[in-house]
Structure 1
Amino acid sequence: MLSLRQLGLALRIGSVYIGTAVGAGFASGQEILQFFTSFGKDSFWGILLAVGLFAWLGTRMIMMGSRLHSESYEDFNFYLFGERLGKWMNWLVSFMLFGVTTAMMSGTGALFEEQLGISFHFGVIFTALFSYLVILKGINGILSVNSLVVPVMFLFIGMVALHALQETDLSAYIFFSLESARYHWFVSAIIYVAFNLSMMQAVLIPLGSKIADESVIRLGGIMGGIGLGIMLFACNTAMQIYWAEVSHLKIPMAFVISTLGAGVKYFFLLIMWAEIFTTLIGNVYGLTLNLKQLFNLGQPLIMALIFGLGYLFSLFGFPALVGFLYPLFGYAGLAVIFGLVFRRLPA
């Protein structure tokens, strides 16, 4: 029987897990739309598969971080792939983290521009500066932010899904079908999990290194996986119901939320920005720790370079970055899934 303190720590682990995955693509709906909703009724099976893999493999990843006592994902990849291949994987993960950081920054710009009528550039720069200040506080700052934001996001997504179901005939969702998906729902779900786990190692490995109690890690990992699944189901259901209205939008969930009223919409946009923010700080934190080991540069300078280059690449546009980079990184991340499945936990 776990104590209240252990349960609280497990809940914080689950919140960080969810907060790291729920970035610009997830919170905006763009990522869910491309990987799940576009498969119509088959999206249900894809999400079910993703939930199982997140709960199982995410927990194993945190456990490896705990047993390796690693401050960055470098030792994790060396353990999974050996020193030679691990070195290449570390460079690949660093590139992937930077690519997703770019998408996060572009997502904040799209949110400010499309939903608030404020400059894209202001949205990106404001978010980058705020992220910079939080990351300087280290893993404790990331834990605190996620513990605050994730429960509120969870509550709102549940409200949105319930409202959408009350407003429509449920059969419209059950029999929703599309023929334009690029590949099978099974492949899409695997790619989605591979992509996210590859990114999440930047936070989950350092997080695991701070926690010795494996019973807490197991519970926290399962909480995170199931929590992600519930949010996926809720967002997917709502977007399928409003498919005709949201399929062409950069931020499809914003329309769904607008059906609850203007006041709720703007509050949710704030929460959506906060969720993008949680993933952004996690990615940059992990990338900074790794680059700090490779180059003789201070953490503030490394972060400044990451955010500066990220701003330049964010100008390519949010949907284009999600549609091209995320599947590409998902295929590259399949190696991480295989490593987590077949490699034994460290002694």
Structure 2
Amino acid sequence: MNQRWRRVCQVGFTYIGTVIGAGFASGQEILQFFTVYGKYSVLGIAMCAFFFAWLGIRMMIIGARLQAKSYQEFNLFLFGERIGGWMNYLVSLMLLGVTIAMLAGAGALFEEQLGLSFHIGVLLTFFFSYMVIVRGMDGILSINSLVVPMMLVFTLVIGWMGWQNDGLHLLFQQMPIRNEPSWLLSAISYMAFNLVLSQSVLVPLGASIQDESVLRWGGWLGGIGLGAMLIVSNLVMQLHLDEVLFKKIPIGWVISDLGQGIHVLFILVIWSEILTTLIGDIYGLIANLRAWVPLQPKWMMISIFLFAYLMSFIGFPNLVRYLYPVFGYCGMFALFVLLIRRVPSY
């Protein structure tokens, strides 16, 4: 693979790794936003995949042309000085909220899947996140290039399970267990929420890469990859909806009867995906806070972790069920502006 395509893969994998966190990899996000809408979930996922690619590319190119070091410059460009300032506060709040959810997800993973202490999962997650964040954007690109292919392979294994059970037929016939018209609003909310959060990594990534051809191909790779992973995970949970509906880690229940080896692989993959999202969120927060918080980055990181650790006791499913939709509705305004705003010229 030549250098150019290696960079395309790095961009695409980093995009995927930024979106996929505890909620996605565990199945909790997919269950709440898509699976409960039965056959309509396929339409929602297809729409999300397209807009993830298109708007993610716009975001990276704007970051490249603005030479933006953080999402602060991006939001000021999109919304102007007054509204852009408030949007920066909102994005910071959303990043902090997802950081809390990632730590809660790590604790739930260690507790439910390994029978270990919730606190051990949280502390190990923070330690490894710290070791990557201190390396900056190079560290983020490297860990996503390692972790995301693992997740793709694991998703193929889950998809094979669905295929063996003739799941494709069921996918297009499953009736929703929530109101049918809500599937569209749920999909838009999910897309808006994740795109707004992704700016913490995609904007400075665009400024770092600069090559717009690489950014475009990487954006399509990321969007299509996310769509494929959503479809496969959704399929498997449709097959076991009654059993997984009230599980903290739905995919964990699905693969629990495949043997110890697959189960250990699942735990490693989902924990790695928690790390990639947590790393991206804290990196973005620190990059923005450095402009007005008089603390060294390592102390900001420790402060963010301590606050998130205390708030993580709210519980992972509760955070996904109630916090994520609220952030999604807030992000819809940003999504609309990103759709209509002209990309700046050099």
Give the TM interval when normalised to the shorter protein. Answer: over 0.9
Matches within 5 A, 1:201-240: 201-240=199-238
Distance 2:193 2:161 in 1: 31
The equivalent residue for 1:115 is: 113
Distance 2:26 2:331 in 1: 23
Amino acid at match of 2:86: W
Amino acid at match of 1:90: N
Identity %: 52
Question: What are the superposed Cα offsets for residues 63-98 of structure 1, whole Å, 9 maximum, x if unpaired?
Answer: 111001011000000000001100000001000000
The equivalent residue for 1:250 is: 248
Please say which of residues 287-296 and 302-311 is displaced more in the overlay. Answer: 287-296
Inter-CA distance 93–183: structure 2 relative to 1 (3 Å threshold): farther
Instruction: Determine whether 1:55 maps to 2:53.
Output: yes
Question: What are the superposed Cα offsets for residues 284-332 of structure 1, whole Å, 9 maximum, x if unpaired?
Answer: 0000110111112110010000000000000000000011110000011
Amino acid at match of 1:147: S
262, 267, 270: which one aligns with 1:269: 267
83, 87, 90: which one aligns with 2:88: 90
Inter-CA distance 169–185: structure 2 relative to 1 (3 Å threshold): closer
Instruction: Determine whether 1:303 maps to 2:273.
Output: no
The equivalent residue for 1:178 is: 176
Instruction: Determine whether 1:153 maps to 2:151.
Output: yes
Inter-CA distance 123–332: structure 2 relative to 1 (3 Å threshold): same
- How far apart are 1:183 and its partner, in Å? 5.7
Amino acid at match of 2:28: Q
- How far apart are 1:260 and its partner, in Å? 2.5
The equivalent residue for 2:196 is: 198
- How far apart are 1:169 and its partner, in Å? 5.7
Amino acid at match of 1:219: W
Question: What are the superposed Cα offsets for residues 11-38 of structure 1, whole Å, 9 maximum, x if unpaired?
Answer: 1000000000000100000000000000
- How far apart are 1:182 and its partner, in Å? 8.5
The equivalent residue for 2:185 is: 187
2:290 aligns to what SS in structure 1? Answer: helix
Please say which of residues 38-47 and 183-192 is displaced more in the overlay. Answer: 183-192
Stretches of structure 1 that go unaligned for 5 or more consecutive residues are none
- How far apart are 1:162 and its partner, in Å? 1.3
Distance 1:54 1:172 in 2: 26
Distance 1:340 1:256 in 2: 38
Distance 1:6 1:170 in 2: 36
Matches within 5 A, 1:161-176: 161-168=159-166, 170-176=168-174
Whether the 8 Å contact between 1:197 and 1:336 is mirrored in structure 2 is no
Distance 2:86 2:45 in 1: 31
Question: What are the superposed Cα offsets for residues 75-126 of structure 1, whole Å, 9 maximum, x if unpaired?
Answer: 0000000011000000010000000000000000000000000001111111
Inter-CA distance 88–76: structure 2 relative to 1 (3 Å threshold): same
The equivalent residue for 1:31 is: 29
Amino acid at match of 2:308: G
Question: What are the superposed Cα offsets for residues 129-163 of structure 1, whole Å, 9 maximum, x if unpaired?
Answer: 22112111111011100000101100111111111
1:258 aligns to what SS in structure 2? Answer: coil
Distance 1:261 1:183 in 2: 39
Distance 1:90 1:169 in 2: 43
Distance 1:214 1:156 in 2: 31
Distance 2:122 2:320 in 1: 16
The equivalent residue for 1:133 is: 131
The equivalent residue for 1:326 is: 324
Whether the 8 Å contact between 1:72 and 1:205 is mirrored in structure 2 is yes
Inter-CA distance 287–169: structure 2 relative to 1 (3 Å threshold): closer
Whether the 8 Å contact between 1:168 and 1:241 is mirrored in structure 2 is no
- How far apart are 1:262 and its partner, in Å? 2.0
Distance 1:90 1:339 in 2: 14
Whether the 8 Å contact between 1:10 and 1:219 is mirrored in structure 2 is yes
The equivalent residue for 1:336 is: 334
- The count of corresponding residues between Structure 1 and Structure 2 is 345
RMSD between aligned alpha carbons? Answer: 1.3
Inter-CA distance 91–282: structure 2 relative to 1 (3 Å threshold): same
Whether the 8 Å contact between 2:40 and 2:176 is mirrored in structure 1 is no
Inter-CA distance 287–316: structure 2 relative to 1 (3 Å threshold): same
Whether the 8 Å contact between 1:202 and 1:283 is mirrored in structure 2 is yes
313, 316, 328: which one aligns with 1:315: 313
- How far apart are 1:165 and its partner, in Å? 2.4
